[in-house]
Chain A
C-alpha cells in the first residue's frame, strides 16, 4: 500500500470511529431522555391521582349537599349518568378506577367485595348486602395500576346514617390528555 493510501485509510478510520462514538452517544442520550420522560409521566400520573383523590371526595356529582361527606345515594345515579355521557367523564378522570367501600361498621367477609348495584339496592337488607361501589373505570389496555386511597365519611340518605368508608383510586401510568 502506498503512503498516501495509508493516510486516506487512517482518516476514514478516524472519522468512522468518531461516527460510531457519536451514534452510541446519541442512542444513549435518546434512551436516557425516553426513560426520563417515562418517569416524568409516572410522576405526573401519580400527582394527578393524588389530586383526583381530594377532588373525588369533593366532586359535586358525588358529594353531600354540605360537602362534608360522600353521598352513597348518588353512586348509582352517577353511574347511570356516566353511561349516558362516558366521553365527557373520561376526559375528566382519564385512565383510572374509582371505588368507594364501606369499612366501618365492618361488613360480613362474604359481602365486603360484593359490588352494590340496582339489584342489591332494592333488596331489604341493603346496605348490608354489598360492600363496594365502582363509580368509574377506564382501563382499555388492561394495565396494572398503582393504588392510592383515603378515608371518607359515607352518608346513606335513605337511612340518614353516616359510616366510615374508603375511596380507592387505581391510576394507570398515562397522563390525561
Chain B
C-alpha cells in the first residue's frame, strides 16, 4: 500500500473512532439521564401513592394493610413521607398534613396501618399508626394494671405486630429469636421497666434497635428511652395519643406537637363558631350557656399543662351536654 492510501485509511479510523466515541458517550449519557429520571418519577409516584392511600384509608377507622408491590424503604418523619435512602437516585420526599405515629423508617413491601379519630372532647384529627413485620412491640403489664393494659391491647388490630406479657414472666431473652428478623423492638412497660436498653440489647444477637417506653396510666405520662439509653419525659391526651406514644417511641414528641397544632386550629374554629351561634340564640338560657362555653374554649386554647387539658376537656363535655339538654345549639 502506498503512503497516500495509508493516510486515507488512518484518517478513516481516527474519524470513525472519534465519531463512535461521541455516539457511544451520547447513548450512555442519554440512558443514564433516562434511568435517573425514571427512578425519580418512581420515588415520587410511590410517595404520592402512599400519601393518597393514607388519605383514603384514613376516612374510616380500623386496621389495614398497605401493599407497595415491591420492597421500599419508607420513612415517616414528622410531617413528611420519604421513599428510599437520602443518597439514592429514587429518593423522594413529600410533606404531609397527616398525623402519623410510626417507628420512623419501615422497609418491606407492606405497611400495616391502623387509623383512629382523636376526640378531645370533639373530633380533632385522624391518627395513623404505622408498623410492619420487622417492628415488634411488646406491652408489659404488672398485676396492678393488667386489666387496663389488656383492655387497651384488645383495641389494637392484630396486624400491628404486638404482643402482651406480664412483668413477672418477662424475660428479654425470650424475644431473641424474633430479634434476629427485627429492625426494631419497642418494649412498653406499664410501670417501671427495671431494665436498661443496654441490658435488653445484650440479650439479643445482632444489631437490632431497641427502645423502652415506661407509661404511667394514672398520670397520663411516659418516659421514652432511645436506642442509646437517652430518656425523654412526655405526656399524652386520651387513649388515642397513648397508642401513638407506643407506636412511635422517639418520634412521638414531634408528632404529638403536630396533633396539638391541629387541636388548637379546631378549638379556634369552635370558639369562632360559638361566638356566631350566640348572635343567633334567642333563649337567654342558651345564650348564657353558649357564653360560658365560649369562655371555656378561649381558655382551652391557652392551656399548656396536662392537668388543665383534662380539666377543660371535662368542662366542655359537660357544657355541651347541658346545651343539648336545654335544646340549644351545641358546641360540637
Residues of A within 8 A of B (CB): 4, 7-8, 11, 15, 18, 22, 26, 33, 37, 40, 44, 47-48, 51, 54-55, 58, 60-61, 63, 65, 67, 71, 73-74, 76-78, 80-81, 85, 88, 91-92, 121-122, 157-158, 160, 175, 177
Please list the 8 inter-chain residue pairs (A to B) with the smallest Cβ-Cβ separation, ordered nearest first: A77-B272, A65-B332, A158-B280, A92-B97, A77-B269, A157-B329, A77-B273, A4-B8
Identify A60's interface contact among B4, B56, B266, CB under 8 A.
B266
B258 smallest CB distance to A (angstroms): 11
A55 and B59 within 8 A (CB): yes
Q: Is B95 among interface residues, defined by CB-CB distance under 8 A?
A: yes
A16 to B276, CA, bound (A): 76
Residues from chain A with a CB closer than 8 A to the CB of B16 are 11
Identify B277's interface contact among A18, A158, A175, CB under 8 A.
A158
A54 and B276 within 8 A (CB): no
A51 and B8 within 8 A (CB): no
Residues from chain B with a CB closer than 8 A to the CB of A51 are 52, 55-56
B102 smallest CB distance to A (angstroms): 20
A67 to B276, CA, bound (A): 21
B329 and A61 within 8 A (CB): no
Identify B8's interface contact among A7, A157, A177, CB under 8 A.
A7
A157 to B290, CA, bound (A): 13
Identify A73's interface contact among B30, B37, B273, CB under 8 A.
B273
Given contacts A8-B15, A18-B23, A55-B55, 13 further A-B contacts (CB under 8 A): A8-B12, A26-B30, A37-B41, A60-B266, A61-B265, A61-B269, A65-B123, A74-B269, A76-B276, A77-B268, A77-B276, A157-B330, A160-B329
A33 to B125, CA, bound (A): 39
B272 and A76 within 8 A (CB): yes
A55 to B30, CA, bound (A): 41
| Chain B count of residues within 8 A CB distance of the other chain | 41
Interface of A (DSSP majority class): helix
Interface residues of B in 95-144 (CB under 8 A from A): 95, 97, 117, 122-126
B269 and A91 within 8 A (CB): no
A126 smallest CB distance to B (angstroms): 8
B13 smallest CB distance to A (angstroms): 11
Q: List the B residue with the shortest CB-CB distance to A58.
A: B59
Residues from chain B with a CB closer than 8 A to the CB of A175 are 48
Identify A44's interface contact among B48, B124, B272, CB under 8 A.
B48
Interface of B (DSSP majority class): helix
The contact sample of 11 A-B pairs, CB cut-off 8 A, is: A7-B8, A22-B23, A47-B52, A60-B125, A65-B332, A73-B276, A74-B273, A76-B276, A92-B97, A157-B273, A158-B280
Q: List the A residue with the shortest CB-CB distance to B272.
A: A77
Q: List the A residue with the shortest CB-CB distance to B261.
A: A88
Q: Is B19 among interface residues, defined by CB-CB distance under 8 A?
A: yes
Residues of B within 8 A of A (CB): 4, 8, 11-12, 15-16, 19, 23, 26, 30, 37, 41, 48, 52, 55-56, 59, 95, 97, 117, 122-126, 262, 265-266, 268-273, 276-277, 279-280, 329-330, 332
Residues from chain B with a CB closer than 8 A to the CB of A78 are 269
Residues from chain A with a CB closer than 8 A to the CB of B55 are 51, 55
Q: Which among B41, B97, B125 has the greatest number of chain A C-beta atoms within 10 A? A: B97
A162 smallest CB distance to B (angstroms): 14
B52 and A48 within 8 A (CB): yes
A42 smallest CB distance to B (angstroms): 13
Q: List the A residue with the shortest CB-CB distance to B330.
A: A157
Beyond A55-B55, A73-B273, A77-B273, whether A15 also contacts B19 by CB under 8 A is yes
A85 to B123, CA, bound (A): 20
A40 to B37, CA, bound (A): 14
B156 smallest CB distance to A (angstroms): 22
A11 and B273 within 8 A (CB): no
Residues from chain A with a CB closer than 8 A to the CB of B23 are 18, 22
A7 to B265, CA, bound (A): 79
A78 to B271, CA, bound (A): 11
A7 and B123 within 8 A (CB): no
A33 to B33, CA, bound (A): 12
Beyond A67-B123, A158-B277, whether A7 also contacts B95 by CB under 8 A is no
